[in-house]
Amino acid sequence: MRFIFLSIVLLFVATYSYSDETTSFPTININQPTAQPIAQIISNLKDNDETMRIQAAEIAGELSGAVCPSIITALIHALNDPKWRVKKSAILALGKIGSTEAIPSLLNCIKDENWIIRCKAVYSLGEIGSAEATDAIINIINDEDESVRQEAITALGKIRATKAIPLLINILTHSTDEYISLVSLSLIKIGTPSVIPLLQVLDNKNPQVRQKVAYALGEIHDSRAISPLITALYEEDELPRGDISAALVKMGTTAVPALLPYMNTSDMNLKGCLVWILGEIGDKQATQSLIKILALEENQQILKKAIWASGKIGDIEALPSLIPLLKNDYRLEESVIIAISRISDEKTIRLFASALRGEETFLPWEEINEQGIALLIIAAQDKNIEIKRCAAIALGKTHNKRAVETLISLLDDTDWRTQRNAVIGLGEIGDERAVPHLTNLLNPTTIWTVKGNAVISLGKIKDIKSISAMLQSLKDEDSFTRACASEALGNLKAEEAIVPLIELLNDEDTFVQEAAVSGLINLSEPCIFPLLESIDRTNKINAFTILGKLHAVDAVDMLIDNLSNKNQKIAGKAAWALGEIGETRAIEPLIERLKDNNLPQVIEAVGKLKAEKAISYLIGFLGQEVALPTETAPLSDGEAASITISAMINIGTPCVPFLIEILSNGNETARANATLILGQLKDKRAVPSLVAMLKDNEWFVRAAVVIALGEIADRSALGPLVGAAMEDKNEDVRIYASNALGKIDDDEVITFLLIALDDPNPDIQFNAALALGERGYLEGMQLLIEHLNDQNRVIRKIAINRLTLIGKPAIPALIKAMGHDDNIIRKVATDILIHIGGDTIIPLLQALDGDQKIIRWYAAIALGSLLKKTPDPVEQEKIVLALIRNLNDDSWYGRGGATIAIGNISTNQDTLIEALLKGLNDANGVVRITTAEALGKIGNPRALKPLTILSNNDTESCVRTAAKTAVKRIQKQVEE
């Protein structure tokens, strides 16, 4: 009724009339009431109808500060109304208006026989807030009705009745919990005058009293309470310690100096409270005390709190004490990372923690910001050797010049590994300021690894002033230093190093020789002439390597002469160099060498030179034993036949007639090798001869033939290959043949492949499945899907890769596989669909409406992952709407899958959060668990309350556990 009345009044109705049956009222502008509506309200307060009088009083109360005296007078008159409901409405209206003129009349009302009238009168006196009512309210504090007593306590606070403080303190110390809470709130409203009386009962025997006293003192914020609160905290060992701590936090920074002297206490519980208080206050005055705890504390709980508090305060002074704790205890690592993240850069500290764990290989140090650089500089000055070493390497990888001075200072470190890492870091940064410091390390007293890396770093900096010192290092007693200098001078293109580097080609250490070779190759053409001049007194193998890599045409004649060198290694290296240089005038001498000796390098060289004249000689080497190749295992290096095969493939189709002839005349090894070459050359002229070889007596020859026919992929070989795949007496040949058929594009192949799916040999089945799958045949893809859980890891990997490559044609089969009996196949099929990407979205959306509930589960999960990948907002919206719809799926599979998907999206969209929250009340425990986990991942604070309720009240322990975990996760995100 009141609602109807207010609605009518707040509309602008211009007329007023009523009868016995109906009543209507004019609209009142409560900000600017006119005389006519006010008169109407006053009139209605006298109306014969009780309801009308009640409504009039309520409207008068709504007029608030715009009320004129006549309204107040009318309301005061209504306090004498015979109907208690009218009287109550008038009392409340006067309280809302806040008019002091009504106080005497309201004081009379607190003597009323009706407890409701007394209660509401006390309430309104409190709302008016005049001290004039204090004595009367104090007198009614012992009213027979509990509601009146409670309202009186509250009213004394509202009117800030200092006179009532002793009474309130007495109630506080002699009442039930509910009264204790009311009194504490009133004393808070009274404020500063309550402090001393509250302090006097801070040691009350009742812990609930002490708890509320501490709370009140904290809310009042009077510094006089600090010392007594600390004393109480020190003496307290019961429930209120947390409330005392909270009160001290409310005191703010003024409490910190008083708290610090107590930090040396041996009471671990007290110490924990103190650390928490200091962290919550967040004042940097506490930093030094916390640093002391970080350095010396053995109690893990206190240490963890000090770590948290240091992060909360955010003082950069704490970083040198926090960083070493990364190596203290793995259980503290995440706490330390979070604390440092609050002070410095989170990305940097997480990278640094990974590096300390030995995961530094591919960390993106160059992406860190200036704040992160400052953090690493602090870490580089740490006393812990591992931290220092790690920071030195990290600073170098940032390539940031701010790190140079710090790294230079580490060159004097007593730990040689730190020195070395600093040297390497300076080289990575490449700043010329490091040159004199690195040069100073090139002396006999420096440890070899530091000295060698100093030379390398000087080479990277590319300062020509360092060349003379690096040249001296070529003569260093340490071989590592000589090798490093060779590499560095080559990188610098320092031509003055050519002669000394040539001399190092004869060094006693092969590692140095190799470095000199590399350096001279980097120096390029300028070293060719000096090298040729010194060829007779130089290690020829090293010299020929350089000349070959530099394609030194001027060296050809000399190299030809050395083909006949008695030293086979030198002769072989000369042949290799001639092949690299590529001069055709070397062909004849190389062929002559072939006649005498089948040096592998000579065979390789004629192949590189495409020497057709050498074919007749190369054919002779094919008869040597060599391993039969497979698709995954190439021929072994170093064997003449293997190198001959590569050489003839390089020469190309001119070899084909010779190879075909070998098929009928050579020994079994020669036939097999010739067959393999023909397959690689893919020359269809060889097909008839190869088909004839399918009748060869040796299985490995037949195997080579079917491999070759598969490579050539000529349709004329289809029939013979089908025959070999179905009838050859050797199982390996049948496997190779089935694989070869998969490479021939012909409809007739399909018939065979479909039959091969039922072959008793699993390898033939698998090859057929691969071939059919690639052609988009469902039968092949279904068999591949069965292999997703194959015991053989290689087979599993091939099946996954092939289905992924097949892509869109495989989608229907993969969606069907999400309903497979095998859990692993379901999961892998889902992963493949996600990997295939956007083409799967529409089919997966359709699958959400399918009959199989387990498919709906996995389809939802897949769509959740795809949402993050697709850039199309239209598709994103479709996925979101579909997932929200599936939260109401009639099966828990559909609902559970949708909640997992939404959790993986980790979006804070209101519509999704609202929809998810309903899942906490789902009848199925799995859905409640997945919903809790999803809300935990998203981290929206709106979920805290319902999750907390679930964690305490759910009938299933696993649901309660999931809810508790989610609550902790959200709280952590909120803190951060």
The mean pLDDT value for 526-538 works out to 93
pLDDT band at residue 969 using 50, 70 and 90 as cut-offs: confident
The pLDDT of residue 6 = 36
Q: Is pLDDT of 457 > 70?
A: yes
The mean pLDDT value for 433-452 works out to 94
pLDDT band at residue 919 using 50, 70 and 90 as cut-offs: confident
Contacts of 388 (CB under 8 A, 6+ apart): 379, 380, 381, 382, 410, 413, 415, 418
**Number of Cα atoms under 13 Å in the Cβ half of residue 547:** 33
- In whole angstroms, how large is the CA radius of gyration of the chain? 45
Q: Which residue do the tokens 């007779």 mark?
A: 536
Q: Is pLDDT of 607 > 70?
A: yes
Distances (CA, A) of 790 to 178, 225, 358, 821, 946: 68, 73, 34, 14, 44
| Secondary structure of 241-290 as H, E, C letters | HHHHHHHHHHHHHHHHHHHHHHHHCCCHHHHHHHHHHHHHHCCHHHHHHH
The mean pLDDT value for 208-233 works out to 89
Please write the tens of the pLDDT for every residue from 267-313.
Answer: 898 899 999 999 999 999 999 999 999 988 888 889 999 999 999 99
Distances (CA, A) of 287 to 92, 316, 351: 54, 9, 25
Please write the tens of the pLDDT for every residue from 652-692.
Answer: 999 999 999 988 876 888 889 999 999 999 999 999 999 99
The pLDDT of residue 493 = 92
**Short-list 304, 322, 325, CA closest to 314:** 322
Q: What percent of the chain has pLDDT over 70?
A: 86
> Out of 351-360, 559-568, 636-645, 722-731, which region has the weakest mean confidence (pLDDT)?
636-645
752 or 221, greater pLDDT:
221
CA-angle at 95, arms to 90 and 100, nearest 5°: 105
pLDDT band at residue 899 using 50, 70 and 90 as cut-offs: confident
The pLDDT of residue 534 = 92
Hey, which of 352-366, 607-621, 663-677, 806-820 has the most confident mean pLDDT? Answer: 607-621
Please write the tens of the pLDDT for every residue from 166-176.
Answer: 999 998 888 77
The pLDDT of residue 724 = 81
**Number of Cα atoms under 13 Å in the Cβ half of residue 127:** 19
pLDDT band at residue 589 using 50, 70 and 90 as cut-offs: very high
Please write the tens of the pLDDT for every residue from 739-791.
Answer: 777 677 655 555 555 555 556 766 665 665 555 555 555 555 666 677 666 66
Hey, which of 23-32, 619-628, 844-853 has the most confident mean pLDDT? Answer: 844-853
325 or 723, greater pLDDT:
325
The tokens for 879 are 């996925």
The tokens for 842 are 């529409």
The pLDDT of residue 10 = 37
The pLDDT of residue 635 = 33
The pLDDT of residue 909 = 66
Q: Is pLDDT of 335 > 60?
A: yes
> Which residue type is seen at 80?
N
The pLDDT of residue 20 = 36
Q: Which residue do the tokens 């993050």 mark?
A: 868
The mean pLDDT value for 422-442 works out to 95
Could you give the dihedral angle defined by the CA atoms of residues 698, 703, 706 and 708, in that order, rounded to the nearest 10 degrees? -100
> Which residue type is seen at 338?
I
The pLDDT of residue 770 = 57
Q: Is pLDDT of 85 > 90?
A: yes
Contacts of 626 (CB under 8 A, 6+ apart): 635, 636, 639, 641, 642, 645, 669, 673
181 or 778, greater pLDDT:
181
The pLDDT of residue 778 = 56
Q: Which residue do the tokens 């010329």 mark?
A: 432
Judge contact between 267 and 275, C-beta under 8 A.
Answer: no
The mean pLDDT value for 54-68 works out to 77
Please write the tens of the pLDDT for every residue from 903-916.
Answer: 877 666 666 777 78
Average per-residue pLDDT in the chain?
A: 84
- Can you give the length of the chain in residues? 976
Taking the C-alpha atoms of residue 229 and residue 247, their distance in angstroms, rounded to an integer, is: 8
Q: Is pLDDT of 364 > 70?
A: yes
Dihedral sign, CA of 175, 178, 182, 184?
positive
The tokens for 265 are 């206490």
The mean pLDDT value for 66-70 works out to 73
The pLDDT of residue 787 = 67
* CATH class of the domain at 254-344: mainly alpha
pLDDT band at residue 503 using 50, 70 and 90 as cut-offs: very high
Residue 23: φ, ψ to 5°: -135, 140
Taking the C-alpha atoms of residue 956 and residue 924, their distance in angstroms, rounded to an integer, is: 10
DSSP state string for 19-32? -SS-B------SSS
Q: Cβ of 368: how many Cβ atoms within 10 Å?
A: 22
Please, what's the b/e burial string for 869-881 (b: 16 or more CB within 10 A of its CB; e: otherwise)?
Answer: ebeeeebbebbbe
The pLDDT of residue 840 = 85
Judge contact between 518 and 487, C-beta under 8 A.
Answer: yes
362 or 39, greater pLDDT:
39
Please write the tens of the pLDDT for every residue from 123-154.
Answer: 999 999 888 889 999 999 988 998 999 999 99
The tokens for 615 are 């074919």
Taking the C-alpha atoms of residue 749 and residue 402, their distance in angstroms, rounded to an integer, is: 67
Q: Is pLDDT of 237 > 70?
A: no
796 or 102, greater pLDDT:
102
Taking the C-alpha atoms of residue 892 and residue 888, their distance in angstroms, rounded to an integer, is: 9
Judge contact between 857 and 844, C-beta under 8 A.
Answer: no
**Number of Cα atoms under 13 Å in the Cβ half of residue 185:** 13
